Structure 1
């Protein structure tokens, strides 16, 4: 259905006269008549009926004009959505890991109140978020890796670095370690059980790489998604595990900084290749970078 013809029908329903429609739309009366006749052929329905020397919409014509208001509004919205120069408007679906949601997304909410952009947020680990992005189930993924165990994004995604955070080794509070390198610290705990993430293997790969440098294979026994639970397990003497620096340590847990090499978590904002120019997504990405 040609939307220009639908515009003429909607205008006729509003103005009641082909002459007035022609004057408003800047065309001739015959053009209005021909285009509405063509619309009637497209729909297979009579849209006009004569009333003396004038015409009026048939019941079918009035129903189509009512639909036309909704259809034309949707077309206008779609054009505005695709116009890079238009004011951003739309819903951006975001999936990310919990720390990035707290640190990067939640502070943005206030700044979006005066815009027409809305965010839908879901908490997911990096591999889960990237799978959703590949399926076009989300528009933006906030993911992380470690410099010692980098993610490979490939050609399907565009990744922009957000921030980094140092991680250390959470050990029972009575443990004592001198000023040692990361590999030596890991080596001192070769006989301990190890705790890693239950939903993402990034920290497990870091632990395995460091342990390999120290000449052993770590005994990974416990898996937990919650960092608070990792601390509880460490405090209970059930093992050691990676924890972020700056996180408050509960009683019975000591965090040993890891240097030379650093265990550095890196956060990224990831979008599908070619999607970054979509105005609502570009607005959020720009504010994430700021």
Structure 2
């Protein structure tokens, strides 16, 4: 069937239902009636000649395999259509960006500010998530860009280096350690958030230390709190605020961990995405 047999409105309703799980929730977001969405989905299924959803009263809406594929392509279609409408007069529109949580304050926040200064009509929508989820969302077309560590990335992603973080030993402020071997017999506090955890343990191995992991946390603030209270040491590559007087950083002879902006090779960079890349501080 030709694309003229369905509309962007129908596609947007399908994507909204996939994101919200029920006709009622999608309808509330779109300010239409659930019956209008149901009719639009019926029309879209007839136009495409395939069943996209399973709709059962009181059980919400489930996507068929064809429906999941249609949602992925539909998101790209809606984004491209929006950029066509908004970017002809310059770098304006919406950029959907994902970011590894520990990189958001130090890399993404200044980047958003730079985009706002150069392109006030561009809006950056961002989400923080772990590296594996961000990669999947890029490849599924849910995100335009993601800020990630260049560690274990899919070959289906294209990258551009934006920064590099140098690993360091984190100890309590009054700890006498001058290298990793000085803490080898003490407990470790591990930032258990791949790839940071993988990289920290690799640094330990390269420097000949087998850590005894006492605590695991997904929060850098919790790492700093535990280390500052003398409950262990850690290896981080993330910046520590200068005002955090609880801890001290000890340089390590380890290679920097590159930080990259990544996007799917299957998606052509739009003008608004390119404008964001060009605005990087």
2:211 pairs, out of 218, 224, 229, with: 218
Q: Distance in 1 between matches of 2:211 and 2:139?
A: 33
Q: Deviation at 1:84?
A: 8.8
- When residues 215 and 161 of structure 1 are mapped into structure 2, their CA distance, relative to the original with a 3 A threshold, is closer
| Structure having the higher Rg | 1
Q: Distance in 2 between matches of 1:80 and 1:107?
A: 20
Q: Which runs of 5+ in 2 are unaligned?
A: 5-79
Superposed, 1:118-137 pairs within 5 Å as 118-137=123-142
Q: Deviation at 1:216?
A: 4.4
Q: Distance in 2 between matches of 1:101 and 1:252?
A: 26
Q: What's 1:90 paired with?
A: 93
Matched residue SS, 1:110: helix
Q: Which moved more, 1:82-91 or 1:229-238?
A: 82-91
Q: Deviation at 1:95?
A: 0.9
Superposed, 1:1-290 pairs within 5 Å as 78=81, 81=84, 87-97=90-100, 98-99=104-105, 100-113=107-120, 115=121, 117-145=122-150, 150-154=151-155, 156-178=156-178, 185-198=179-192, 200-243=193-236, 244=238, 247-248=241-242, 250-258=244-252, 260-262=253-255, 264-288=256-280
- When residues 136 and 257 of structure 1 are mapped into structure 2, their CA distance, relative to the original with a 3 A threshold, is same
Q: Deviation at 1:118?
A: 2.4
Q: Deviation at 1:101?
A: 1.9
8 Å contact 1:125–1:143 — kept in the other structure? no
Q: What's 1:46 paired with?
A: none
8 Å contact 2:191–2:217 — kept in the other structure? yes
Q: Distance in 1 between matches of 2:216 and 2:159?
A: 28
Q: Distance in 2 between matches of 1:83 and 1:111?
A: 16
Number of aligned residue pairs: give it: 201
8 Å contact 1:94–1:138 — kept in the other structure? yes
Using structure 1 for the length normalisation, give the TM-score.
0.59
Q: Deviation at 1:169?
A: 1.0
Matched residue SS, 1:275: coil
CA RMSD of aligned residues (A): 3.1
Matched residue SS, 1:247: coil
Deviations 1:86-117 (A, max 9, x none): 6344322111132322232233223221x3x3
Q: Distance in 1 between matches of 2:191 and 2:207?
A: 22
Q: Distance in 1 between matches of 2:162 and 2:118?
A: 18
Q: Which runs of 5+ in 1 are unaligned?
A: 4-76, 179-184
Matched residue SS, 2:227: helix
Matched residue SS, 1:160: strand
Q: Distance in 2 between matches of 1:103 and 1:131?
A: 25
- When residues 278 and 213 of structure 1 are mapped into structure 2, their CA distance, relative to the original with a 3 A threshold, is closer
8 Å contact 1:90–1:280 — kept in the other structure? yes
